[in-house]
Amino acid sequence: MSKLRVAVIGAKGRIGSEAVRAVEAAPDMDLVAALGRGDELETLVESGAQAVVELTTPASVMDNLDFCVRHGIHAVVGTTGWTEERLGRLEAWLKSSERTGVLIAPNFSIGAVLTMHFAQQAARYFESAEVVELHHPNKVDAPSGTAIRTAQLIASARDRAGLPAQPDATATALDGARGADVDGVPVHAVRMRGLLAHQEVLFGGEGETLTIRHDSLHHSSFMPGILLGLRRVVDTPGLTFGLENFLGLGD
């Protein structure tokens, strides 16, 4: 069977460089291009790439995906910064390229995907829920894409269960002291030398708390998810949001 022809965009970055190595080592894939900032996207076409891994920045990702979708190149996307407006634009592009698949994964690590899944399950049983994400100090966005997605999933589960707003008597606060409000769920971001990517989801009910914690200790934690995404996205046209959909954990 012929190997999947894969390109990485953002190939010199922290996770992109790890993805280059993972694709090179995968027996069923050929790395046909590794693009950094300033490299021509035409290289993707010239190299015959069938799928790309997109690991750049929120400022670059839309142009890169526009190009890929227009050229029928499937994409596995880890870059953050997704809004409803951006997702809507991407879905409109995909309608004009019916066979192309795009996977956007807020997090490729199995532990982080399970954290989101378990948090969604727990959410309806607790009055209070807050998310604390902790990352390396070179991260440019806050809160993390994973934390935003986790908070959104918790908020939808609370909504479906008919839970009221969370109890919080705060009457005065310094800016940011209660974190960012994501659909009514406070999200706190820590940036600290020595960390990589970590998250705690805290739930509180009468007389008890539940904490779900996940730690990515190395960028290798994201690689099995990226490779799985590549293998599946080529047969999954349209937009898939979240690796859980390829792990049998989707709704």
Provide the minimum distance between the beta carbon of 65 and ligand LZUJQKHR in the complex, in angstroms, as a whole number.
17
67-87 residues labelled b (16+ CB within 10 A) or e (exposed): bbbeeebbbbbbbbebeeeee
Nearest to 86 by CA among 148, 167, 169, 173: 148
Q: Which amino acid is at 250?
A: G
Asked if residue 197 binds ligand LZUJQKHR (CB under 6 A), the reply is yes
Instruction: For residue 78, say whether it is annotated as part of any ligand binding site.
Output: yes
Annotated binding residue at 198?
no
Answer yes or no: is 214 a known binding residue: no
CA dihedral 220→55→183→180, nearest 10 degrees, is 80
Indicate which of ligand NDP, ligand LZUJQKHR, none lies near residue 184 (CB less than 5 to 8 Å, by partner kind). none
* Helix segments in 195-242, DSSP class H: 223-233
136 carries a ligand binding annotation:
yes
Q: Nearer to ligand NDP by C-beta: 57 or 166?
A: 57
| The pair of three-digit structure tokens given for residue 45, joined into one six-digit string | 């076409």
Q: Per CB under 6 A, does 158 bind ligand LZUJQKHR?
A: no
Q: Which of 135, 158, 214, 232 binds ligand LZUJQKHR (CB under 6 A)?
A: 135
> Which H or E run includes 4?
strand 4-9
Q: How many CA atoms lie within 13 A of 188 on its CB side?
A: 11
Q: Would you count residue 56 as binding ligand LZUJQKHR (CB under 6 A)?
A: no
* Partner from ligand NDP, ligand LZUJQKHR, none contacting 37, C-beta within 5 to 8 A by type: ligand NDP
Closest separation between CB of residue 213 and ligand NDP, Å?
17
Instruction: Give the residue from 34, 65, 64 showing the smallest Cα distance to 49.
Output: 34
Active site residue 139: yes
The set of catalytic residues is: 135, 139
Footprint of ligand LZUJQKHR (CB under 6 A): 80, 106-107, 135, 139, 144-146, 197
